Amino acid sequence: MADIHFGTDGWRGIIAWDFTFENVHLLAQAMADYINSNAPVLANGKMPPIFVGYDRRFMSDKFAADIAAIFRSNKIDVVLSDRAISTPVAACVTLHKYWMAIVVTASHNPAHFNGIKVKIAGRSAPARITKDMEGLIGQNSVLKLYGQQAEQKDVTDIYFKHIASRINPKKLKTFKGKVVVDYMYGAAAGYLEKFLPAKQVIALHSEHSPVFGGVQPEPVEKNLSELKKTIVEKKAALGIAFDGDGDRVALLDEKGNYITPCLIAAVLCDYFIKHKKLTGNIVQTVSMGFLLKRIARAHEMRFEEVPVGFKNVADRMNLDDVAFGVEEAGGFAWKGGLSDRDGLAVALAFLNVMSESGKKASELCADIVAEYGSSVYQRKDFKLSKPLDKAAFTEKLRKKMPKKIGTHKVAELNTTDGLKVILDNDDWLLIRPSGTEPLLRIYAETATKKETQALLDVGMKAAAVGDK
C-alpha cells in the first residue's frame, strides 16, 4: 500500500507505481467511509449525491468509474461525469446539487502522474477533511460489488451558467480582437468557445493527448513558445493558456509578452476595486509579490499572506470578508464566485476589463506599473534528491540570513511557508520546498531584471543549489 497523503491540493502519484488501482480503491473506500459518516441528511432522509469527475490523463476515466462503483457499493448516491471535465466544473457543482466532488486529475504534473482532488462547498476540501480520509485508509475492506455502475451525466451546463453570471456577457460581445488559446491538450479544451465566437478564437492543442504532446501541461512561460509565436503572427489581442485540469491560467499580451501572475492579479484587483466597488480584505500566498500589498495600502484594505496552496486562500475567503484572493500558480478568485481556482473565469474577466476599458493588455499592465511601481518577478525550481524537513530547513536559512542585502535592510523574515525575506523597499526573496513535487523553489521580485536576478543568486547561495 502506498503512503497516501494529500498535499497542497490533492494526492498525486506516478501511474502504475503508487497511483494504482489497488491504492485508488483503498482511498475510495476511505472516502466512502468518510462520506457515510459525515454527509448531511436531507429533508427526505437521504444524503445529497456525490459527483465523480476526471480529466484527460491516461486511464482517468477508468479510475473515476471504479471510485464511483465503490461509492455505489457503499450505498452512496453518486453521479459520474460522462466526459472529461476541468476541475472548476467539479468545484462548481458542489455549490448546487452535489455535496462533494471527487476529481481524478494530477493538474499540471507530467503525463506519468495522476491524482485525486476533493472539492466541497465550491473549493478544495479543507485539510481536516482530507486528514480524516487519510486516517480511514485500510480501516475497512474495499467493497466493490459486481455491476455497480454509476449513472453518467454531463454537468458542464451548471458551470457555464455560473461563469456567465460572473462576467459581463454583453460587454464581452463588444470585444472584436482575436484570442489565441493554448489548451495544452487539457480538460478545458473548447471552453473558451462557449463565450467567444469561434471565428475570434485560435485554438492550439485542443485535441486529446494523454501525453500532452510531450510537454508538461503547466502554463509557465518556458512552455508557451508556440503561443507567443502565434499571437504575433495572427496579430491577436490576447494569449491564454490553461493547465491540464483547467484551474490554472497564464496570459500573454498582444506583443506575446508573458504577463506574470503578480501583474494579472494587480490588473484585476485594482479594476474591481475602482470600477466594481469591490470591498473587503486582500489575501495572497507568500509566493506572490508586492503589487497587491501596495494596492491594499492605497485603498486602506487589510492585507494578509498565507501558506502556498490555493486552499489556504479559500479558507480565508470562507472565514472572512475577502475581496480578492490569489496564489502564484495561476489561481485567482474574488468575492461572489467560487473560492477556488478557475482559469476560464480569470481569462474572461481579463477580457471583460479589456472590453470595458477599451485598452490593450499591455496598456492595462503599464497603468499598474505607473501607479504602483515596476514588477519583475521570477521563479526557479531545483530538483531534490530527497524530501526536506521544511521546518528545519527554514530555521537553518533564517539563522544565516544577513540583516542587509545589497543596499537594503531586511525588514521582515516571514516563515509562513519556507523563508520569505522582505526588504525595506518591498523587494523580496522566498525559498521553499514544494508541497506537491520533489522541488526546491526560489522566488524573487524587484523593480528590475538585474536586481531580481541578484536576489535569486542570494537565494541559491543560501540554499546551496546551483543554477541548472
Residues 6+ positions from 253 with CB-CB distance below 8 Å: 238, 239, 259, 360, 361, 362, 365
Cα three-residue angle 270-429-238, rounded to 5 degrees: 40
- Local structure of 446: helix, strand or coil: strand
Render the burial of 276-300: b for 16+ CB within 10 Å, e for the rest: eebebbbbbbbbbbbbbbbbbeeee
pLDDT by 10s per residue, the chain, length 468: 568 999 878 999 999 999 999 999 999 999 999 999 999 998 888 999 999 999 999 999 999 999 999 999 999 999 999 999 999 999 999 998 899 999 999 999 999 999 999 999 999 999 999 999 999 999 999 999 998 989 999 999 999 999 999 888 888 888 989 999 999 999 999 999 999 999 999 999 999 999 999 999 999 999 999 999 999 999 999 999 999 999 999 999 999 999 999 999 999 999 999 999 999 999 999 999 899 999 999 999 999 999 988 888 988 998 899 999 999 877 899 988 888 999 999 999 999 999 999 999 999 999 999 999 999 999 999 988 877 888 888 999 999 898 999 899 999 999 999 999 999 999 999 999 876 677 899 999 999 999 999 999 999 999 887 554
Domains of the chain listed by start with CATH number: 11-160 (3.40.120.10), 179-258 (3.40.120.10), 260-341 (3.40.120.10), 376-463 (3.30.310.50)
Residues 6+ apart with CB under 8 A from 206: 183, 185, 189, 190
Phi first, then psi: give them for residue 270, nearest 5 degrees. -60, -40
| Strands 123-124 and 113-120, bridge-based pairing | antiparallel
CA distances for 418 relative to 69, 125, 136, 323, 391, angstroms? 41, 23, 30, 26, 8
Q: Tell me if 358 sits within 8 A of 237, measured CB to CB.
A: no
Place of cell 514544494: 434
| Measured distance CA(345)–CA(355) in Å, rounded | 15
The DSSP bridge partners found for residue 239 are 180, 252
Cell representation of residue 443:
522566488
- What single DSSP character describes residue 212? G
Give the cell for residue 271. 479594476
In angstroms, rounded to a whole number, what is the distance separating the alpha carbons of residues 110 and 211? 8
Check residue 325 and give its pLDDT. Answer: 94
